[in-house]
Chains A and B, each alone.
Chain A
């Protein structure tokens, strides 16, 4: 045991789990966790290396010249890195619209009163429909259907625009449900307090309910955005050359799959910060709740 005080003075011994994470591990704990980690990865490495095709796989997926070549691009194939910027762009644009559209849907779904029944109906139908249909089918229907209509302003947009629209449509349905869960988690007494001060329904929603609801759903929202970052790759089915498509072009011309590894690496690279950020927010919320419970 280290001298760091991690439990009460009469802590019965090191076998009592007194916390999580490396800080809570004693000297023996670090040793055990290191050993088990090494062993775990060693077994995987041995299995992979001893596999009959391991040499071929190493050449096809991890050959350094190909990794580099696909990253920066060559005469016959686009740079995966540059193509990846399109993914980032798609994500950034779609995210903004999703946050807004989903909020509108969630709010509309919560408006009481018989007059608003058709609005609620539309909101419910929307979320049911777009959560139910696979994204790739929405992409095909929007990407090939809307141009087919031959309408003046909306049928002759770049392919990638239809991809972004599809992502917005599908993800807004999910995010609307996240917002709705947040709105419903705010106790009715908060709304009652606001209304009894003379605030209108909208003012209560805007100043009292939504700020609390949104704060609570930030972690699940970020989680959905991690999913969105990855799904930007599906936009390639409409012909846009984003990272996954660029990797495919490379592999088709060079007969080497290193480009896929590069694309995967880039996706992971931008997802990890968002994932860690989400973890931190969740941990912070948990601390706050615990502090609140003590007060």
Chain B
């Protein structure tokens, strides 16, 4: 049987009582000490038998609960410095000199130091007294000229020093003068910033402070309290639910990978199989199998990361022969295809580069599908591609592409649009622009743009199309319609992560990674 007894019922309590229940032990101690008029913090912490920091924190909580008003004033306080404290005991040096003069009327300057004044004190004392016109210097002697009653009176400086500490603001004009004088002398006085905190009760605070603050509330629920049923019939102190906890961060997947997983799931929901492959590829798969002429600009160094001093291998002769034929002209397709009409060079095909698109994976998969004669078939890939590009906000030299192919006798252009529109919709893009495009390996071809609201321009996401017979015939021996696409992926997701610059994608700024929101589409 479940125990249905509860902690003391909270029903029917009024607002003020609720407030009392939120008070921590230290707040309970402080509250009765407070008055309707302002008290300063030192007297409060003294009376509440706590240290100042604890008291201040508790007062802050009380303020949040509307029980007190805290008045903070920054003040400049004048207090005695090290020398000042010493002179308070031993008197100022000019006083000591004056006292001696009162006895002797005249002292040789060279004897001043015998009075226990150091050289500096002697010099200053003479200066000060001369300025006050109570002494004169004649033939190396100090002669008293002021009258004795006058010199017996305390100087303004002495009076000020004895009155310290004082609020700088509270000094009278005459005292100000003395202050300036003393300040010009070493370490007699100093000015410090002091925060003066004073606290008074609000009307609500006054009311609450008179209520019963003695009730024993449970502070921390402990295993012991649970076990011994000590909680029964007792109240728990109410917590201030508005207070945030200390910041914590969790471990998580990299945001690009979170989005990648989601995109992969979109393709899989549509029945696509994943294809993967190496990041380095031969020209054969990256370009030649995709009917990209060997003198096409993309195959030049300035656009592609070619690998130094490594020569790749070509696949078996049959496919090489077919691809050569496609390039040189002579593939049978309702008559002979013209190809690129040049001499295709095996060595150019063996050059290794970092893949410039994931379409090389599609080319390889196409060959497998053709060999197994297993289609209709739908494949996708999501992976890194590389371009030897100068990097800016919308261009990275490493970026992800989301690749797909559909091999089906009945595949058509409308279906190509169907897959793409559906994918982009699930990625959060209701509005995309599809326009004609050009790729050596597709016909018809298209480009997909999305509108970038911040930069106010259409952002090219990449292309799609239907593979040309020059691509499909070397693989299948005849033209089988293949839908193919490979839009850039990083540009698609930068908006969702509020990334303005593609350069931030792989920067691994840990603070940003920790703060980065989770992918939720």
- Same assembly: no
Residue positions of B touching A, CB distance < 8 A: none
Using CB atoms and an 8 Å cutoff, list the residues of chain A in contact with chain B.
none
